[in-house]
Amino acid sequence: LSLQSELRQGIERGELVVFYQPKVDVATRMPCGAEALVRWQHPERGLLAPDVFIPLAEETGLIDLITAEVLDQALAQIARWAELHHELPVSVNIPARSLSDATFPATVAAALDRHRVRPELLTLEITESAVIADMMRAGEVLGGLREQGVNISIDDFGTGYSSIAHLRDMPPHELKIDRSFVMKMCENSRDETIVRAVVDLARNLRLRVVAEGVETESALQALDELGCHEAQGYHISRPLPAADLTAWLAGAA
C-alpha cells in the first residue's frame, strides 16, 4: 500500500489526532489561545508528525480532507472548553490553496454552525507553500471569511511565499512571526532586528502579532520589550493532547 492510499484510509478510519499548543499574552503570561496541530496515529508506525504526511497530502489533494477533519475536531474542542468555562480561541492551519475554493467560506460557516461556536473563537492560519494563483479569487474567499467574523492570520510571516503585498491587498487580523527568526533572537542581533521590524509593522498596521518558537525566558522577555502581543513555543508548552491542555489551563488560571 502506498503512503498516499494508507493516508486516505487512515483519514477515513479516524486516525488523525489533533494536539493543541497554547499561546500566552506576552504582557500578562495568561493563556490566550491555542494552535491545533494534526498528528497521524498510525496503527503500526505510531504517532506521525505532520511533516511526514502534510507535504504528500498537499501534492495529492488529500489536504482538503485533512483541513475539514482538523477544523471539525478543533471546533468540537472549542465547544467542550467553553462548557468548562475556558473560552479559548483556537487557530487552525489552512493551506493557501483553500483560498482558491469558492465554497470554503460556506464550509467554515456550516462547521461553526454545527458546533455552535462563535466565529470570533476561530482563527485560520494561512500558510503559503506555493504562490497564490488567482489573487482575485483568494481576495473574495478571504472577504467571505472576514464577513463571518472569523480571524485571519498569516503564518510563517517573512518566509516562503508570504508577501508584504498581501498586507495591502488582503489584510489579515494577525501576523505570526516564523520561529526561524524567534528561536535565536537573543543570540543573533539580525534575528532580533527582523523580529522587531515585524512587530513594528504589525502594530503600525493595527494587527495582532504572535511569535512562535519561543524556547527561553529571555526570548519571552525580549518579546515583551518589543511589544509583541502573543507567544507560543516550548518555553510555554509543547503541543499537548486536548485533555492535557485542559489540565494545563486549570493550572495556569
Find the helix or strand (DSSP H, E) in which 151 lies.
strand 151-157
Q: Which residues bind Na ion (CB under 5 A)?
A: 93, 125, 155
Binding Mn ion by CB under 5 A: which of 35, 155, 174, 230?
Answer: 155
Window contacting Mn ion (CB under 5 A); options: 1-9, 69-77, 151-159, 243-251 = 151-159
Site for Mn ion in 88-147 (CB under 5 A): none
Taking the complex as a whole, how short is the minimal distance between the CB of residue 125 and ligand G, in angstroms? 7
Q: Are 233 and 214 in contact (CB under 8 A)?
A: yes
Taking the complex as a whole, how short is the minimal distance between the CB of residue 85 and ligand G, in angstroms? 26
Looking at beta carbons only, is 186 or 206 nearer to ligand G? 186
Residue nearest to Mn ion (CB): 156
Read off the DSSP letter of residue 233. S
Cα–Cα–Cα angle for 78, 174, 88, rounded to 5 degrees: 20
Closest CA to 38 of 56, 20, 64, 57: 20
Number of residues that bind Mn ion (CB under 5 A): 2
Looking at beta carbons only, is 6 or 83 nearer to ligand G? 6
Looking at beta carbons only, is 125 or 230 nearer to Na ion? 125
Site for Mn ion in 156-185 (CB under 5 A): 156
All three cell numbers of 89: 480561541
Alpha helices in the chain (DSSP H): 3-12, 50-60, 63-83, 104-115, 135-148, 165-169, 179-182, 189-204, 217-226, 242-252
Q: Are 24 and 251 in contact (CB under 8 A)?
A: no
Q: Are 231 and 223 in contact (CB under 8 A)?
A: yes
Q: Which does 239 bind (CB under 5 to 8 A by kind): ligand G, Mn ion, Na ion, none?
A: ligand G
Q: Which residues bind ligand G (CB under 6 A)?
A: 21, 37-38, 49-51, 54, 63, 66, 70, 93, 95, 127, 155-156, 179, 183, 212-215, 233-234, 239
Looking at beta carbons only, is 93 or 237 nearer to Na ion? 93
Residues that bind Mn ion (CB under 5 A): 155-156
